[in-house]
Amino acid sequence: MASSAFNTGGSLPRRQFINRVMGALLCLSAAVALTPLLLVIGFILANGISGINLDLLTKLPKPVGELGGGMGNAFLGTAILIALASLFGVPIGVLAGIYLSEFGNTGFARILRFLTDVLTGVPSIIIGIVAYTLVVVPTHSFSAVAGGVALAIIMIPVVTRTTEEALRRVPNALREASLGLGVHEWKTMMYIVLPAGLGGIVTGVMLAIARISGETAPLLFTAFGSRFWQDGLGNPIAAVPLQVYKYALAPYKDWHDQAWAAAFILMMLILILNVGVRVVTRSGFQKIR
C-alpha cells in the first residue's frame, strides 16, 4: 500500500539521470545565448577603454589628419535628440496607452493596438524615410527636429504598450474607490490610476530611450550629423551612433579609436538605463504592495 502511493511510474535512477541531462542542456543553451552579449561587451571594452578621455566628451572633432579632438558635439547632440524625441513621443505614447487601457475593447482601439505592434516591427531606416518626407522635405533642411521626430516615431509604440500594460495592472478596486467617492472619470485617471501605474510608465519611457539612443539608420537623412557645436534645432545635428558609424568607415586609426571609445560610453549609458529600469520597477512594486 505505502509503496504504491509513491509509485509515479518509471525507475527513480532513470528519472534522476534524465533530470540531470536536461538540466545540463538548459545550462548550455543559456550559455550559448549569453555568449554574443559577453563578446560584444568584451570587444568594445577591450578596444574602447583606452580611447576614453575627457576630450572625447568635451572637444569638437579635429579636421581630417589632425590628431586629438573629440566628439563632445555628438554626445550633446544625442542628448538633444533624446530630449526632442521624448518631448514628442512620451505625451503621445502615454495618452495612447491611457486610451488603450480605458477603451481597449472598441474597434478603433483594436486597430490602434494592431498598428502599434506593426510600428514596433517596422525597420528603423523606413521610419527615417518617413521623417525625411514629413520634416526634411517641407523644411528643406536636415535638422535636429527631423531626427527627434524619427526617434519619437520609434519611441511611441514602446511607450504606448508599456503604459497600457502598466495601467491595466492597476487594480480595478482603486478606480472604483475613486469613482465611488464621486470623482470624475478623467480625474480618477489623472490622480489615482496614473500615479499608481507611474512606475511601469517610467520603465517604458526609459526602455524606449535606451532603444533610441543607439539608433543610427533613422538619423542618416534626418539629423544627418555635424562636426560643429549645435546651432539651433533647425540645423543638422551630430549624434553618437552616426559619428561612430562615420568614423568606423573612415580609414584613419585615431578615428577608429574614438569610435570604439564612444561606442563603449554609449553602451554603458544604455546598460545603466536598463539597470535603472530594474531599480525603478522594484521600488514601484513595493509601493503597490
Partner 1 sequence: MDITLTTLQAVAVEEREETVTRVSKGLVVEKLGAYYGNFLAVADVDMTIRPNKVTAIIGPSGCGKSTFIRCLNRLHEVVRDARVVGKVMLDDEDLYDPRMDPVAVRRSIGMVFQRPNPFPTMSIYDNVASGLRLNGVRNRGLIAEKVELSLRQAALWDEVKDKLKKPALALSGGQQQRLCIARTIAVDPSVVLMDEPCSALDPISTLKIEDLIAELKQELTIVIVTHNMQQAARVSDYTAFFLGNEKVGAGELIEYGPTRAIFTNPADPRTENYITGRFG
- Residues binding partner 1 (CB under 8 A): 105, 171, 173-184, 187-188, 191-192, 195-196, 198, 287-289
Residue with cell 526632442: 84
Residue 212 CB, shortest distance to partner 1, in Å, is: 29
Q: Is the CB of 113 or the CB of 239 nearer to partner 1?
A: 113
HSE of 141, CA atoms in CB hemisphere, 13 A: 11
Residue 191 CB, shortest distance to partner 1, in Å, is: 6
Q: Is the CB of 183 or the CB of 280 nearer to partner 1?
A: 183
Q: Is the CB of 23 or the CB of 195 nearer to partner 1?
A: 195
Residue 144 CB, shortest distance to partner 1, in Å, is: 36
Q: With 0-12 CB in 10 A as exposed, 13-18 as middle and 19+ as buried, what is 227?
A: middle
CA distance 154 to 160: 11
Q: Is the CB of 104 or the CB of 214 nearer to partner 1?
A: 104
Residue 190 CB, shortest distance to partner 1, in Å, is: 9
- What would the grid cell of residue 259 be? 569610435
Q: Is the CB of 17 or the CB of 191 nearer to partner 1?
A: 191
CA distance 199 to 243: 34
Residue 176 sits at the vertex; the CA angle it makes with 174 and 180, to the nearest 5 degrees, is 120
Q: Is the CB of 169 or the CB of 227 nearer to partner 1?
A: 169
Residue 101 CB, shortest distance to partner 1, in Å, is: 13
Residue 107 CB, shortest distance to partner 1, in Å, is: 14
HSE of 252, CA atoms in CB hemisphere, 13 A: 14
Q: Is the CB of 171 or the CB of 234 nearer to partner 1?
A: 171
CA distance 146 to 128: 9
Residue 163 CB, shortest distance to partner 1, in Å, is: 17
Inter-axis angle of helices 144-169 and 124-131, nearest 10: 120
Q: Which amino acid is at 185?
A: E
Render the burial of 39-71: b for 16+ CB within 10 Å, e for the rest.
eeeeebeebbeebbeebbbeebbeeeeeeebbb
